[in-house]
Structure 1
Amino acid sequence: MSEVQRRKLRHIDVCLAHDVQFQTVTTGLEAVPWPYRALPEVNLADIDLSTTFLGKRLSAPLLIGAMTGGAERARTINRTLAEAAQATGIGLMLGSQRVMLDVPGALSSFQVRDVAPDILLIGNLGLGQLMKGYGPAELERAAALVGADAVAVHLNPLQEAMQASGDTAYQGATARLRQVIRESRVPLLVKEVGHGISGGVAASLADLPLAALDVAGAGGTSWARVEALARYGEVRFGPLCEVGLPTAQALRECRAALPRVPLVASGGIRSGLDMARALTLGAHVNAVALPFLPLALEGVQAVTDHIETLKQELRVALFVAGYRSVQDVQAHTTELAR
C-alpha cells in the first residue's frame, strides 16, 4: 500500500473517531433570515425540488460531497454512496483521484458507474498535481476512467501545509490554473475543501469557461484539523485549524464576483434549511459530505434515509416560505439576500 493510500485511510479513521469540525467558526448560514408565511398559498405535496446542474437533472439541489478513494474501505464507501445517489436522483463528487492515477490498483475504489449509471458524477484532482505537471490530459483521463461528467480541481493550501510533505509550492498557481481551465476539454469546477473561496480568488477566474465553482466554506469540516489529527494524533496549531471564510460569506462574495457561474454551496451544510438559505445567497446546488461518512459504513439504506430527510426538510422550508420550487427561490435570490 502506498503512502497516499495509507493517508486516505487515516483520514477516514480520523473523521470517524474525532470531532473534525470547526470549533469557533460557524457557516454564517444560521444568521441568514428565512421568510415565514402563515398563509403560504401552496401545497406541500406540490413543491418541486428538482433542478438541472451540469446538464443533469437532479431530484433536489443536492450532491454528496467529495470524501475518499484509493483503498478497499474507500471503495465500499464510494459504491454505497453511489448506489444511494442513484436511488434518490442526486449527484456524487468523488474524492481526490491522484492516488488512482499514481497507483493503478486503486482505480476500482473510484469506479461506481456499474451501480450508478445515471447520476451526475464529478471527478477530482488537486491543484498540487497541476503544479507538478498534471494537465488537461490527466484531467481527461481521470474523467474517462470513471465515467465522470466533469472534474473538480480542488484548492487546499492550508490542508497541504499541515501535512508532513504537502504540496505547498503555490507560486504561479493562478496562472497555471487559468491555463489548464482554458485548455481542458473536460468541464471543470474549481473547489476548496472546507476553508472557503473568497471573492478575490473567484474574480481571478471570472473570464474563464468554468463549469461551476464550489465555495466549500468554513464552518463544517476543518481539513487542517483532520490533517493535524492524522499527523500528530492530536490537534496542534489549533488556531490555524479555525482559519477560513465562512460559507455564507464565501457565497455572497463569489456570487458578486461570478454572477453567471453556477455555485455549489458546501462547508457545514447540515440541514434542508441550510440548503434553502444557501439558495438565497446564490447557490445553485448544495454538497454535503461528513454526515454521510458513517452512514456509508452502515449501508445504502442509511444513506438514502438521510438524503430523503434533507429533501423533506428543504421541501418544508420552501412550503412555509410560500415557494413552489427551487427555481422560485432562486428567482427571489437578490431580494432575499439583502
Structure 2
Amino acid sequence: MSIAERKDSHLALCLEEQVELPGGDATGFGALRFDHDALPEVDLAAVRTETELLGKKLAAPIVVGAMTGGTARAGEMNRRLARAAERCGVAFALGSQRRMLQDPASRDSYAVRAAAPELRLLFGNLGAVQLNYGVGVAELRALVRDVGADAFNFHLNPLQEAIQPEGDTRFAALLPKLAAVIPELGVPVLLKEIGAGISRTTARKIAALPVAGVETGGLGGTSWAKVESLRAADPARKSLGEAFARWGIPTVESIAACRQALPDRVVVASGGIRNGIEIAKALALGADAVALALPLLKAAEQSWEAAAEELDRLVQELRLAMFLTGCARVSELRARPLSHARDLTAAPRT
C-alpha cells in the first residue's frame, strides 16, 4: 500500500471505527478531582484563558493536534481544522509531512496558511525515525519553510511502526542524530509520542537534547496499535495490534513524568483529553497547553464551523473550571491541588 493510500486508510478508520480505548479511564483523569471553591473570589467575566506558547499568544492553551496530510481528502480536513484554529485563536499541528518528501505535489494538502493566514502558531511534523532513513537538515528545513511552520514536532511512534506492515523500525542511534539536527531547523522543536506516552525513562533521555519541549501523547485516546490492527490483513499482525492496544503510559502519568524531567521546558499534554475539565486538570498537573485530535477531526468532517464550535465548547468548559477553582488566569491552575478521588463530573467513556 502506498503512503497516500495508507494516509486515507488511517483517516477513514479514525472516523468510522472504534479506535479509542473503550470503557474505563485509561488516561487517569477520572481518578482526579479539583476542590470545588464555593467562594472563588473572582468574577466569571474576569476569567481569561489567554496564554503564550513558544513565544506566540493564544486565546486558549489548546493545540489542534497532529492528524493528517498528504492526500486530497486529508488536505481538505487540514484546511477546515486550520480555519477553526484560526477563528478560535489556538495553535494547529500538521500530521506527518513525510509524504511531501516523496511527492512535492502533495504540499498543497499541508499548506494551510493559504486557508488560515492569521493562524497564530503552526507546527510542522515528521517521524524522528526518518533520520535513520536518509532525511537530513536540508529536507527538514524545506518542510519548515514550505508550510511556514513556527515550530516543529518530531513524532516518536515505535509501537505503531512495529505493528504497521510497512513500518520503519530502525530506531537505533536516534539520540545523536536528533541532537545534531534540532539546532539547525531554525524553529523550536518538540518531541511527541502519538498514543503510548512519554515515560520517565524517555523524558530523561529527551532532557539531554536541545528541544523546546515535549508532547505527551499518552495512553487513553486514539490507539494507533488498534488502528494498525484494523488495517492488517495478516491475522497474526492483527492479533499483535490488539494485544498492544493498551500498551503505554497513561496521560496523567506522562504529564507528571515530563514536567519532572523537563522543569523549564514546554510540556504539551495529549492523549485522550476530551473536555475542558480534563484540560484544566492537565494544566494543574504541569502542562503548558494541551492537544486534541480525534474529536476535532470528527467535527471537521461536518464543516470547519463545527470544528470551531467544538473548540469553543472546550474553551468555555475550561473557563468554568477555572472559575470554580478561583483562577482568573491559566497560570494559576498550576497552584490548584488535585485530589486522588473519583470525579463525579467525568462522563463515562463509551
> What TM bracket, shorter-length normalisation?
over 0.9
The CA distance in 1 between the partners of 2:292 and 2:272, in whole Å, is 8
Identity of aligned residues (%): 44
Contact 1:135/1:180 (CA < 8 Å) preserved in 2? yes
- Segment drifting more, 280-289 vs 198-207: 198-207
Deviation at 1:210, TM superposition (A): 1.2
CA contact (8 A) 1:178 1:205 kept: no
Whether the aligned pair in 1 keeps the contact of 2:251 and 2:270 (CA below 8 Å) is: yes
Moved more, 42-51 or 133-142: 133-142
- Runs (4+) off by over 6 Å: none
Mapped pair 1:178 → 2:182? no
Residue 15 of structure 1 pairs with residue 19 of structure 2: no
Q: Secondary structure at the match of 1:151?
A: strand
Structure 2: distance between partners of 1:195 and 1:21: 12
C-alpha distance in 2 between matches for 1:281 and 1:78: 30
SS of 1:113 mapped into structure 2? helix
CA distance in 2, matches of 1:30, 1:277: 10
Deviations 1:221-255 (A, max 9, x none): 00111111122398532121110100000011111
Deviation at 1:208, TM superposition (A): 2.9
Q: Counterpart of 2:316? A: 312
Give how far 1:199 is off: 1.5
After superposing the two structures, state which structure 1 stretch, 202-211 or 313-322, moved more. Answer: 202-211
- 1:103, CA displacement in angstroms? 0.8
1:82 aligns with 2:55: no
Q: Identify the residue that residue 72 of structure 1 maps to in structure 2.
A: 72
Structure 1 residue aligned with 2:343: none
Residues 182 and 208 in structure 1, CA contact (< 8 A), matched pair in contact too: no
Separation in 1, partners of 2:79, 2:308? 13
1:1-338 equivalences under 5 Å are: 3-23=2-22, 26-119=26-119, 120-232=121-233, 236-237=239-240, 238-330=242-334, 332=335, 336=338
Structure 1 unaligned spans of 5+: none
After superposition, the Cα gap between the structure-2 partners of 1:168 and 1:233, relative to the gap in structure 1 and judged at 3 Å, is closer
1:46-92 alpha-carbon deviations (Å, 9 max, x no partner): 10100000111110000100000011100110000011111110010
- Rate the CA distance shift 1:327–1:337 in 2: closer, same or farther, 3 A: farther
**Offset of 1:183 from its aligned partner?**
4.0
Unaligned runs of 5+ in 2: 341-350
Q: Secondary structure at the match of 1:205?
A: helix
Q: Secondary structure of the residue that 2:327 maps to in structure 1?
A: coil
Instruction: Name the SS of the counterpart of 2:117 in structure 1.
Output: coil
Secondary structure of the 1:63 match is strand
Amino acid at match of 2:296: F
- 1:142-194, Cα deviation, whole Å (9 max, x unpaired): 11000010110000000001111201111212232223224433321100111
What is the identity, as a one-letter code, of the residue corresponding to 1:26?
A: A
